[in-house]
Structure 1
Amino acid sequence: MKRIITAAVLATLGASAYAQNSVTLYGVIDEGFNFTNNVGGKKVYEMADGFVQGSRWGLKGSEDLGGGLKAVFQLENGFNLNNGALRQGSREFGRQAYVGLASDKFGTVTLGRQYDSMVDYVAQTTANGNWAGYLFSHPYDNDNTDNSFRVDNTVKYASPSFAGLQFGGTYSFSNATNFAANRQYSFGGQYANGGLLVAAAYLQANNPGAGSGGAISSTGDSNFPAALLRILGAGVNYTFGPATVGFAYTNSYMKQPTGTEYVSGSILPAVGTLSSLRFQNFELNGKYQISPALFVGAMYTYTRASFNATSGSAHPNYQQVGLMADYNLSKRTDVYVQGGYQHVGGGKTGTALDLAYVPGADDASSNRSQLVTRVALRHKF
């Protein structure tokens, strides 16, 4: 009898300990058909994945350490559904890879490859960072609100909520003898109360894209390799009934940029040196939940660029409109249609920046306008 009682107690304790730990397998598959009216002067019909959400699978979990403290981790892989290839520079866990400690009272500290504060706080006030995805990003995703890059070698802190106020920040090591070369730091915060959300953030990176071992890697990450990258932004969303409206402003500055991974044409002037490039983005967005299964959304962005080179300066502007409808077939499966149109006006730089390029298009247009439409199926597990 004693043996039976002992075995029962041990089994109960084991079950209790197991219940305090968790590991979750999850994923998203987003696949569809795109039509682009002008890519280098030609129409393009293509299958493309990962627009509203990048196709992924991942593992996340926690272990209760007692006293309101737990160990946490997340490993997230990004992949191309059309050919099975790895995304994010062919990394096994290119989307996220971190481990850390989370406290109910003091907040969470995590270590590894993670998102910066612009993504954590400001992106949620934009259409692309909230409900619409890649196609609605600001030109060249210049402010990283659509996660063009993650930050490696990163220590991140996220506070608990204090009556709706949260804040946090990141610091990413260069992992090099030159301590400041290709390092990154960011900080931000948000306030949420009822239907109101207000958020702001700042990011600075020294020599982003300088090599593969620093904070912002040259392997599948850096959107604008440069001597210096600074991004600041703020946004507000307000939800009333079935409707949500939002406004976001971001300002991205690159000192001595050497290129961009988005288009095949050079952003460097034909004569002279590009000393700086700045994008100021003004976005209005709205979403209306027609029924529990159906929503429609719209976005308008005006972007003013400042192109400063030894050969002269120019100020092109980009106007972009996006429309979307999404219908849920079930709790985990939906279909959606999207359209994105961009027109470039203002002064000409004499570079690829003068050509329209809707984020997600196969390449830049041959002129100053471009249209991309998409119909897709998304499944979550």
Structure 2
Amino acid sequence: MRKFVFGGAIAMAAAAAHAQSSVTLYGIVDVGLSYVNNAQTGRSSAGLRGAPQTALTDAHATGMSGSRWGLRGTEDLGGGLKALFVLENGFMINNGTLAQGGAEFGRQAYVGLSSATAGTVTAGRQYDPLVDAIQQFSAPYWAGYMSSHVGDVDNLANTSRINNAVKYTTPSFHGIKAGAMYSFGGVAGSQAQNQIWSLGISYSAGAFSLGAAYLNARNPNVSFYGNTPNKGPATVDNIGSLGSATTPQSSPAFAGYASANTLEIMGIGASYAFSRATVNAIVTNTRFDGLGSSSGPNPFGYKGNAAFTSAELGVRTMIAPTLTTGIAFDYTQRNSVSGDGGAKYMQLDFALDYLLSKRTDVYVLAAAQRATGHDSLGQPAVAAISGFTPSATGKQVGLRIGLRHKF
């Protein structure tokens, strides 16, 4: 009898412990066929060369959702307090390699404590409050990475996560929620070098939602753009590349601003949901301040500031319970830097998504971009739809047909 009671007590204790904690395995697999009408192949004395390109690619490049798998866990500590963690790996489905520059858990990796009344504190590699507060109002939220503003200059597609970060998020209070983050630079003798901080606030009431946020990154070439294993020190341009006779450029819109002392991104967005349609609007301003510092290379000798202002208007419509479509237009303008006259980028985005089941869908994405003026690489501005190789001209059209499965 004693053995039976003792064994039963152990079983009950194990069951209680199991009920108070959980670990969930989750993920997304997204693959598709992508086509772009003009992609750089290199350059010669006559200028940039380009050609059409078709490839089977992972969604990290141009699709709806980057392929990933992750572990999410919680433990009830009592008194309304919970411990939590997230470990999320990004990978390329077309070749099986790691995404996010080769980081094992490059998408997210954090641990923290959460209370329904006091909020949540987490520490590790995380999304910043700017993404939390305003990404939902931008086209990348529903039309994929290729719909982001040129080169994802304002990080609304979440190209850059934040390392070494402590983040606090408040509970929702009458529809209002706020967040704050600080990332330690980790440089001996300089608290400010490589530091990042961000604030965000959002409000939701019925059909209306609103959000605003700000991010400040010191030495962004290292702290913000250089935070994955494949990036280098301040002597390397971690934002993009000038290309060569046989290789294309990357991030031509702002790769030339790696010497900025500070990166500032601020934005405000809103949406209103009707019966079947949702209208989204967002405005952002991205500033590369203090050009010519020691934060990164400066081959063109830039000084002063480079500021990108982006405005976007989009609408999504549920045609049927299993079919959703959307269209968005965005306009980005950069000021004149060192007398180059500035640049302008206009882009039209389209998305069509059909649910085969609750976890599997097929989709079509399309984007067309036109660039004018001069970009950061000292050349006539070239179109550069996010995720595709930049065009050799001021125009570019991209198309993707994809299949996505969630588990």
Query: TM exceeds 0.5?
Result: yes
Change (3 A) 1:347 1:94: closer
Equivalent residue, structure 1, for 2:279: 245
Change (3 A) 1:179 1:267: closer
Change (3 A) 1:142 1:353: farther
1:275 and 2:304 are equivalent in the alignment = yes
Deviation at 1:218, TM superposition (A): 4.8
Query: Would the aligned equivalents of 1:171 and 1:185 in 2 still touch at CA under 8 Å?
Result: yes
1:152 and 2:179 are equivalent in the alignment = no
State the secondary structure of the residue aligned to 2:361: strand
Counterpart CA distance in 2 for 1:185 and 1:133 is 26
Counterpart CA distance in 1 for 2:299 and 2:380 is 9
Which of 39, 42, 53 is residue 44 of structure 1 equivalent to? 53
Task: Output aligned runs, 1:57-206, within 5 Å.
Answer: 57-128=69-140, 130-177=141-188, 178-206=190-218
The amino acid that maps onto 1:148 is: T
User: Which string of whole-angstrom CA distances, capped at 9 and with x for unpartnered residues, describes residues 325-365 of structure 1?
Assistant: 0001111110000100000134677725700111111x211
User: Which string of whole-angstrom CA distances, capped at 9 and with x for unpartnered residues, describes residues 261-287 of structure 1?
Assistant: xxxxx9964xx4243211100000110
State the secondary structure of the residue aligned to 2:159: coil
Query: Would the aligned equivalents of 1:166 and 1:190 in 2 still touch at CA under 8 Å?
Result: yes
Deviation at 1:230, TM superposition (A): 0.3
Counterpart CA distance in 2 for 1:343 and 1:75 is 39
Q: CA RMSD in A?
A: 1.9
Counterpart CA distance in 2 for 1:133 and 1:251 is 21
Counterpart CA distance in 2 for 1:190 and 1:44 is 40
Equivalent residue, structure 2, for 1:354: 381
Counterpart CA distance in 2 for 1:245 and 1:180 is 40
State the secondary structure of the residue aligned to 1:89: helix
- Unpaired runs of 5+ in structure 2? 41-49, 232-237, 240-254
Equivalent residue, structure 2, for 1:217: 226
Equivalent residue, structure 2, for 1:304: 333
Counterpart CA distance in 1 for 2:184 and 2:265 is 18
State the secondary structure of the residue aligned to 1:14: helix
User: Which string of whole-angstrom CA distances, capped at 9 and with x for unpartnered residues, describes residues 107-128 of structure 1?
Assistant: 0000000011111111111111
Query: Would the aligned equivalents of 2:373 and 2:381 in 1 still touch at CA under 8 Å?
Result: no
Counterpart CA distance in 1 for 2:266 and 2:376 is 24
Calculate percent identity across the aligned residue pairs.
Answer: 42
Change (3 A) 1:275 1:301: same
Query: Would the aligned equivalents of 2:311 and 2:331 in 1 still touch at CA under 8 Å?
Result: yes
Counterpart CA distance in 1 for 2:279 and 2:119 is 30
Query: Would the aligned equivalents of 1:314 and 1:349 in 2 still touch at CA under 8 Å?
Result: no
State the secondary structure of the residue aligned to 2:363: strand
Equivalent residue, structure 1, for 2:371: 344
The amino acid that maps onto 1:135 is: M
After TM superposition, the score normalised by the length of structure 2 is: 0.86
Counterpart CA distance in 2 for 1:19 and 1:278 is 52
Equivalent residue, structure 1, for 2:26: 26
State the secondary structure of the residue aligned to 1:123: helix
Counterpart CA distance in 1 for 2:224 and 2:110 is 14
State the secondary structure of the residue aligned to 2:66: coil
The amino acid that maps onto 2:398 is: V
Counterpart CA distance in 2 for 1:168 and 1:373 is 36
Query: Would the aligned equivalents of 2:30 and 2:66 in 1 still touch at CA under 8 Å?
Result: yes
Equivalent residue, structure 2, for 1:334: 361
Query: Would the aligned equivalents of 2:179 and 2:199 in 1 still touch at CA under 8 Å?
Result: yes
More RCO (CA 8 Å, sep 6+): 2
Query: Would the aligned equivalents of 1:267 and 1:351 in 2 still touch at CA under 8 Å?
Result: no
Query: Would the aligned equivalents of 2:374 and 2:380 in 1 still touch at CA under 8 Å?
Result: no
Query: Would the aligned equivalents of 1:154 and 1:215 in 2 still touch at CA under 8 Å?
Result: no
Equivalent residue, structure 2, for 1:255: 289
1:227 and 2:261 are equivalent in the alignment = yes
Change (3 A) 1:349 1:108: closer
